């Protein structure tokens, strides 16, 4: 079975959806708890939300396997993204609700984690890097957009309600000031005052995971941005049902953001 799908576009934009997968390999599924079998911490339906990206000429990469197999947005060396705060590992052992994914004593050990990294984590990143290289041969500047979503309330990670749109640029390190400013302007003028009256924050609780921080190197012509959406903006968080009428205005805002990235890349603005 293919580990991921990669659609190769021609525009200077690569959309990565590292938590879109829901599948569990048979041998792993046999060990996973009932809570884990539901893969509740999936970035549900982001592939559907971003389906229009191909119309823009973007490349799109998304995994087949669940983040419970190997989290593609975590540091392979195990370094924390947010030191001192709760976060899940390269191979998670609990859900965001704190429920065990494996029976006590059956959690993956160091050898299994290393094997999962080799089998599931590395192929995705090899493909992502190669696609960025290919796009850079076509364009002097490329934007990597990392698309995510999460429940609006997850006490393990943050207090209270998450803003609707959470833009992360590693505190400004993963993209140019010009791109961050343009995207923030879209969220301020078009999201809060337009399509759905959405709230937003830039570099709030979510500043970007491993993918944004590792690949976003503006000085090399690759800029990276992460968007973390509150899931209630486009779906039912309890049943995981996609709600097209609710999702439509969210897609409108996302399209504006991606079009802004394309404009920025094509203009070559530093």
- CATH of 4-267 given 3.40.630.40, 3.90.320.10, 2.60.40.10, 1.10.10.10: 3.40.630.40
Q: Which of 185, 177, 196 is nearest to 245 (CA)?
A: 196
53-74 pLDDT, tens per residue?
A: 999 999 999 999 999 999 999 9
pLDDT tens per residue, range 196-255: 689 999 999 899 999 999 999 999 999 999 999 999 999 999 999 999 999 999 999 999
- Sheet of 142-150, strands arranged across: 4-7, 59-63, 13-16, 142-150, 222-230, 165-168, 200-202
φ, ψ dihedrals at 130, nearest 5°: -65, -35
DSSP state of 25: -
What are the structure tokens assigned to 62, written together?
């998304």
pLDDT tens-place string over residues 152-202:
998 888 888 999 999 999 999 999 999 999 999 999 987 665 556 899 999
Please state the rounded mean pLDDT for residues 1-22.
Answer: 95
Burial of 33 (0-12, 13-18, 19+ CB in 10 A): middle
The DSSP call for residue 51 is G
Which structure tokens are listed for 128? 């992502």
Domain residue ranges in the chain? 4-267
Q: Which residues contact 60 (CB under 8 A, 6 or more apart)?
A: 5, 6, 7, 9, 14, 15, 17, 50, 53, 54
Separation between Cα atoms, residue 107 and residue 113, nearest integer Å: 10
Residue 39 has phi, psi (to 5 degrees) of 40, 55
State pTM to two decimals.
Answer: 0.95
SS3 helix, strand, coil % of the chain, rounded to 5?
Answer: 40, 15, 45
């Amino acid at each position: 079975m293919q580990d991921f799908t990669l659609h190769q576009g021609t525009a200077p934009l690569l959309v990565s959806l590292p938590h879109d997968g829901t599948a569990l390999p048979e041998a792993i599924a046999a060990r996973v708890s009932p809570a884990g079998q539901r893969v509740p911490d999936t970035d549900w339906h982001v592939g559907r939300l971003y389906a229009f990206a191909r119309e823009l000429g973007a490349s799109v990469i998304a995994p087949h396997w669940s983040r419970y197999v190997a989290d593609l947005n975590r540091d392979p060396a195990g370094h924390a993204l947010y030191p001192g705060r709760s976060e899940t590992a390269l191979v998670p052992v609990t859900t965001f609700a704190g429920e065990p994914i494996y029976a006590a004593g059956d959690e993956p050990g160091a050898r299994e984690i290393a094997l999962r990294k080799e089998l599931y984590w590395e192929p995705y990143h090899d493909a992502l890097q190669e696609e960025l290289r290919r796009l850079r041969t076509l364009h002097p500047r490329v934007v990597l957009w990392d698309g995510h979503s999460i429940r609006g309330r997850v006490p393990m990670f943050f207090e209270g309600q998450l803003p609707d749109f959470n833009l992360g640029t590693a505190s400004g390190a993963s993209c140019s000031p010009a791109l961050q400013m343009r995207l923030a302007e879209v969220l301020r003028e078009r999201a809060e005052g337009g399509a759905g009256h959405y709230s937003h924050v830039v570099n709030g609780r979510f500043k970007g995971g491993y993918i944004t921080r590792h690949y976003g190197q503006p000085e090399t012509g690759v800029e990276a941005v992460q968007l973390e959406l509150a899931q209630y903006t486009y779906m039912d968080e309890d049943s995981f049902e996609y709600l097209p009428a609710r999702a439509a205005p969210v897609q409108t805002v996302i399209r504006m953001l991606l079009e802004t990235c394309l404009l920025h890349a094509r203009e070559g603005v530093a």
